[in-house]
Amino acid sequence: MEEPNKTQAATAAKALRASGTAWFLTAMLGQWLFVLYIAGFYGGAAAQGDFARWNDVLVGGYVAGGAIGNVALAAHLLLAAVITIGGPLQLLPWIRTRFLPLHRWNGRLYILTAIVISLTGIYMVWTRGTAGGAAMRVGISINGVLILIAAVSAWRLARARRIAAHRRWALRSFILVSGVWFFRVGMMCWILLNQGPVGIGGKGFDGPFVRFWAFGCYLVPLALLELYLRAQDSGSAPGRYAMATVLALLTLGTAIGIFGAAMGMWLPRLT
Ligand code: HEM
């Protein structure tokens, strides 16, 4: 007969897996809504040759005659759609077990995309600028550098067949690559919960919440991922239940943020 402690830990592991899956599926849906917006708004304008329309949203944006920056911007936007479709697919166990070659090729594409999107992003931040002040520029640049480190580490560990370590770094890459998405979803959740744009800073977009979230949008999810991995490894039932509860609340917060971002930022720009 199994020891009661072991049975409890196994039940807690199931609860943790269920809440992790609920969060992931919610996030995947929200990421694909983001892709719908990127393809519909930026792709739609590009298909009509109306690149200037991009600047309805962008701050640095498209500059007539500024070839290198425009190519970097166009590559960045195209790859934003590619990586946001491909990222969640990498994490679906169903694909890894049944279609390993797809996981390998999509993985290579993902790493390459992560590298180019980060480099073009850093270039754009420091040549054309972005919304907000110094915190936004420094915050997103550090995000870009961390994406490079995590994606290359995940790739090297996969090549060395160190699969447990590869999984950890792949999850870290996914969280870091999702930083810009977390920024939008987290901000909209905050605004909806506060019933107004508290701490956003008006047109300057440099209020206390924005300054905090410029770094928090990837550091907070990264810290939560580490707690999740520890809860999985620890074998402690209370630790697993605590993390499962946190994830259930995060799923709710993520769903609220996705709703806010879709209704307030993404879907209106598709009409
Ligand atoms: C890795 C995943 C990333 C995705 C999916 C992504 C996606 C996007 C999208 C969709 C836009 C258009 C803005 C909007 O419509 O909301 C954008 C713009 C931009 N991104 Fe990224 N991005 C990523 C990473 C980065 C990184 C790492 C940096 C910088 C280090 C960066 C810097 C920028 C800049 C400067 C703009 C133009 C902002 C403006 O002109 O207002 N991005 N990105």
Q: Which two tokens stand for residue 267?
A: 């879907």
Q: Are 91 and 171 in contact (CB under 8 A)?
A: yes
CA end-to-end span of the chain:
62
Question: Which pLDDT score, from 0 to 100, does residue 67 have?
Answer: 87
- Nearest alpha carbon, ligand 1 atom 29: 121
The structure's pTM equals 0.94
Determine which residue's CA is closest to atom 32 belonging to ligand 1.
121
Give CA–CA dist 101/5, Å, rounded: 39
**Separation CA 48–CA 71 (nearest Å):** 17
The 8-class DSSP code of residue 161 comes to T
- Centre of ligand 1 from the C-alpha of residue 117, in Å: 8
Closest by CA to 35, choosing from 75, 80, 1, 2, is 80
Q: Which two tokens stand for residue 103?
A: 């996981």
Q: What pLDDT is stored for residue 8 in this prediction? A: 86
Please give the biggest Cα pair distance in the chain: 75
Q: Which residues contact 118 (CB under 8 A, 6 or more apart)?
A: 144, 145, 147, 148
Along the chain (271 residues), what's the average pLDDT of each consecutive run of 10 residues?
Answer: 74 95 97 98 96 93 89 96 95 92 95 96 93 96 98 96 96 98 98 97 96 98 97 91 97 98 96 77
If one residue of 78, 180, 266, 270 were mutated to test the ligand 1 pocket, choosing by the most ligand atoms within 8 A of its CB, it would be 180
Closest residue by Cα to atom 6, ligand 1, is 80
For 6, residues 6+ apart whose C-beta sits below 8 A from its C-beta are: none
Mutational test site, ligand 1, from 34, 76, 149, 173, max ligand atoms within 8 Å of CB: 76
Domain ranges of the chain: 17-270
| pLDDT value of position 122 | 97
Q: How far is the CA of 122 from the centre of ligand 1 (A)?
A: 9
Q: Which of 80-94 are b and which e, b meaning 16 or more Cβ less than 10 Å from the residue's Cβ?
A: bbbbbbbbbbbbeee
Specify the pLDDT at position 2: 54
Evaluate: CB of 124 within 6 angstroms of ligand 1. Answer: yes
Handedness of CA 121, 37, 252, 165 (dihedral sign): negative
Q: Is 199 helix (H, G, I), strand (E, B) or coil?
A: coil
Tell me how far CA of residue 76 lies from CA of 42, 61, 70, 207, 260, in angstroms.
11, 11, 10, 27, 24
